[in-house]
Structure 1
């Protein structure tokens, strides 16, 4: 899967998308050719075959309610998307970067997070859920809201949407984010009541992870719904071809807070970076995501480019069940050995921030960890010696995501420099995670960005540290530290006192910074490019993907 979201683990419920001087010369030549090709040629847009399964093709006809053009402008937004379709669109299981981004436009939750600011706002609900008592909340649906088949959105649909997520048989990716939820019932046709297992102050915003789906359509044909989803959002999905494009049209009957401001959208799935940049430069598309770092300066002369700091990171993950990686001193040593500043400057052209904590520095709850891994080769050697390790040989498993492959040889250089003989194993994400899930790895370097699902500390930590990741991937579950971390997260999630909650989260983040079973090396800046002459209101995101909510074609 070509995505900053790794493929979800196979066991339900899932927890879850270039030595140096010689390689620098090769990278330099390759990047020069890419830049020349991107800026001087208008290459044809072409997708690449994804190794992950997804819908091959879905088509439909335009049957929107209302009169075309009654909402927003009549233009068509053309966009270049970095990732192919690596999963279906069903919002309870969609894990690929592209379907998750598409779902922002097709579906609504009761409460949504603004894709740019990450602030919560009522979407299908008329207001944030009303707290009845510590374990009971109610929400009222927006009057006149309809799905894309013209059927009304009802409380029964809301109950169904949450119930199917909670059902273990459905292996929903979202269930891990709703551990507090006991059940949902319909009070009347437009009111739902939530029963919690325990007080959870983050409830009003956390339910944004649950997209509301039409019960009748999903029950009738779950596979068909996964391939061609039906939501209540401002855009309808008309056609999706895995290696080619996704076509959207405005839903004119939409009466919510984010009406479509374009008549249609065509997302060109262009995983080839040169073709994607060329499409922007030639004017075939108005915006592209994931501008290659080497191309940023060249594209700036042709379009607006902004690199937004994100939580999205490159992490190191260790097989903590395999010696010597069961010793945290070895894990720490390999972090201290990394010249992260050089990695960011050389492979990322400055588009990253060395991890000073679990969260990126722009996150409102950022906390500088008690352990920060500056480049310290001597300390790395001392830790290896203290652990009784010498002559260590490591196979570093990495994904073939473009920016990761540029970083991998620099990790090897850093580790070789402290006497750790390093072999690179680069491959497709899906295949590499099969090795990981089988326990057939030592250390993995890979991208991750669960912030597409939410932005609170609890969610961002539970993605990696609760459930299948520590159990099936870095194999840390059951340790005293794992138990302590789970306790801290549980205490924090139930605390209604902001200061207490913050202190507990800081303790949790300090713990993982010290233990580093899986931990960020750096947080990415995400370069996005667009033409302001053809797009009005567009803003780049601090997460993987593009959003065209409140954006019009000029």
Structure 2
């Protein structure tokens, strides 16, 4: 059953809320309250053979699952592609997809798996073991700069035993391997090799939906793939994701019946929406993090990085700008994660300590440009972050822009501090994966520029030790030690872990539910 009262969305005085978070909030709430035109479709909104959804995040990358990292293309890919195993969208537990079962252990470093009979790609060609080998090898090829490669450091070779059997050889024993194969989506070798750029723009997978078209800042259109024979057969003929970055417009689209579900519900509108639709807010790993250019002074000094964390009035940020929908970071993981470890350094609100650390680092008169992304809830939080930093004597200039523009600056090294959202749990939920996303590969090398430091080497070494351990308790101890180093050094570290608010017409979407990750899933969801 859906939850009519949104968890964590408590009533606040509009005056108090807008006074702290700025006039942009007044405009959002006011426009949302106006609604939109009455629906001309069915009583439950639009055509009952179609699902329409309001998506918050821009189409910031292509769809090739080897390199896609944007929230929207990654969510779309869960409907278009399959891995040998995929994550259950609600529980984040690995389950067989293209394979008949999770990979079976032959010996400590050898696994085999068998493909589902009759599986085909959207062009009608069969999915073969050669396609599986190709899909993994292109990830492992350094020339392809795949974001997934950092999750497979243990993988040595992949071999097609026959048309439907694949064998994996590992460099060392890695107990998490059967679930880790979820990071690799299987692609058709023939089509990818013929036109890699075309494939990135209009991908072909083996999932229940095929992608018909994608128009940046407009919509993504899917159609059911009739020959799909897996566990997640499409229950509607067509699906359209409206790319609606404006929060008020998303709310209006739901209220008017133009869409049946929206993600990233504006906190200020959630309680009102819950009177007529289902609204729920689910705790996630998804974080708001602060990242520093550690090659630029004074941010090469960890005392400065620590100071800016201690300066933040996170309880006020969560209570006021997010209306309770988050929890201050007590460690790298959210407190509800099964492997949560409370960090040895926890950044409580302590402006006096922040000033002391800045003084010790010789950064008393610090001025900085703070880059943030223009996602609705992040824009709401940004003024309170500036307020906290200004209060400890850090003269802060806000620079709010689209994610792609901000990361272009970051990747060129033209930044000091970035505050942005991040959620690698869409790829997997084990600690090794969640830590390697930010601390092994692209991020420490090209973004916060920590690569090669003593602390960086220590973290990677601890992760590698944990990966090689077959003792669960020992793995957790090593993960905790790595997390403590990261918390102390704070080159990139969470400010808070967010609750994800979703709203939907529960009469129109049987089987739909909110997720503990960024994005929405319509697998096994129908229309009524």
The match for 2:460 among 467, 479, 486 is: 486
- Aligned twin of 2:3: none
Work out whether 1:226 is the aligned partner of 2:200: yes
Q: C-alpha distance in 1, partners of 2:361/2:37? A: 53
- Cα shift at 1:41: 2.4
**Residue 284 of structure 2 aligns to a residue in which SS?**
strand
Work out whether 1:242 is the aligned partner of 2:216: yes
- Aligned twin of 2:428: 454
Q: Say what the alpha-carbon RMSD is for the aligned residues.
A: 2.0
Q: Quick one: structure 1 residues 74 and 337, their matched pair in 2 at CA, closer, same or farther if it must change by over 3 Å?
A: closer
**Residue 297 of structure 2 aligns to a residue in which SS?**
coil
The match for 1:34 among 28, 38, 59 is: 28
Structure 1: give runs of 5+ residues left out of the alignment.
1-20, 46-72
Work out whether 1:203 is the aligned partner of 2:177: yes
Q: C-alpha distance in 2, partners of 1:25/1:101? A: 35
Work out whether 1:344 is the aligned partner of 2:338: no
Work out whether 1:442 is the aligned partner of 2:436: no
**Residue 404 of structure 2 aligns to a residue in which SS?**
helix
Q: Quick one: structure 1 residues 375 and 262, their matched pair in 2 at CA, closer, same or farther if it must change by over 3 Å?
A: same
1:313-333 Cα deviation digits (max 9, x unpaired): 111112222222222122111
1:162-191 Cα deviation digits (max 9, x unpaired): 111112222222112111111211001110
**Residue 187 of structure 1 aligns to a residue in which SS?**
strand
Q: Quick one: structure 1 residues 342 and 27, their matched pair in 2 at CA, closer, same or farther if it must change by over 3 Å?
A: closer
8 Å CA contact 2:18–2:25 kept in 1: the answer is no
Q: Quick one: structure 1 residues 426 and 84, their matched pair in 2 at CA, closer, same or farther if it must change by over 3 Å?
A: closer
Q: C-alpha distance in 2, partners of 1:338/1:43? A: 42
User: What is the TM-score of this pair, normalised by structure 2?
Assistant: 0.92
Q: Which segment is superposed worse, 473-482 or 351-360?
A: 473-482
Work out whether 1:531 is the aligned partner of 2:505: yes
**Residue 536 of structure 1 aligns to a residue in which SS?**
coil
- Aligned twin of 2:481: 507
8 Å CA contact 2:120–2:127 kept in 1: the answer is yes
The match for 2:282 among 303, 308, 316 is: 308
Q: Quick one: structure 1 residues 451 and 130, their matched pair in 2 at CA, closer, same or farther if it must change by over 3 Å?
A: same
Q: C-alpha distance in 2, partners of 1:225/1:415? A: 45
1:237-273 Cα deviation digits (max 9, x unpaired): 2222223222222222221122222222121121222
- Cα shift at 1:27: 4.5
- Aligned twin of 1:5: none
1:43-83 Cα deviation digits (max 9, x unpaired): 699xxxxxxxxxxxxxxxxxxxxxxxxxxx97221111112
- Aligned twin of 1:124: 98
Count of residues in Structure 1 that have an aligned counterpart in Structure 2 = 507
8 Å CA contact 1:250–1:260 kept in 2: the answer is yes
1:509-545 Cα deviation digits (max 9, x unpaired): 1111111111000111111000110000101111111
**Residue 457 of structure 2 aligns to a residue in which SS?**
helix
**Residue 545 of structure 1 aligns to a residue in which SS?**
coil
8 Å CA contact 2:58–2:72 kept in 1: the answer is yes
- Aligned twin of 1:263: 237
**Residue 460 of structure 1 aligns to a residue in which SS?**
helix
8 Å CA contact 1:44–1:279 kept in 2: the answer is no
**Residue 553 of structure 1 aligns to a residue in which SS?**
coil
Q: Quick one: structure 1 residues 413 and 97, their matched pair in 2 at CA, closer, same or farther if it must change by over 3 Å?
A: same
**Residue 552 of structure 1 aligns to a residue in which SS?**
coil
Q: C-alpha distance in 1, partners of 2:232/2:468? A: 32
The match for 1:84 among 58, 65, 68 is: 58
1:187-209 Cα deviation digits (max 9, x unpaired): 01110001111211111111101
Q: C-alpha distance in 2, partners of 1:363/1:525? A: 13
- Cα shift at 1:106: 0.9
- Aligned twin of 1:375: 349
Q: Quick one: structure 1 residues 261 and 192, their matched pair in 2 at CA, closer, same or farther if it must change by over 3 Å?
A: same
1:403-427 Cα deviation digits (max 9, x unpaired): 2222222112112222222222222
**Residue 266 of structure 1 aligns to a residue in which SS?**
strand
- Cα shift at 1:457: 0.9
- Cα shift at 1:141: 0.5
8 Å CA contact 2:137–2:158 kept in 1: the answer is yes
- Aligned twin of 2:381: 407
Q: C-alpha distance in 1, partners of 2:119/2:37? A: 42
- Cα shift at 1:435: 2.3
- Aligned twin of 2:189: 215
Q: C-alpha distance in 2, partners of 1:470/1:341? A: 29
8 Å CA contact 1:356–1:368 kept in 2: the answer is yes
- Aligned twin of 1:70: none
8 Å CA contact 2:82–2:98 kept in 1: the answer is yes
**Residue 470 of structure 1 aligns to a residue in which SS?**
helix
The match for 2:121 among 124, 147, 150 is: 147
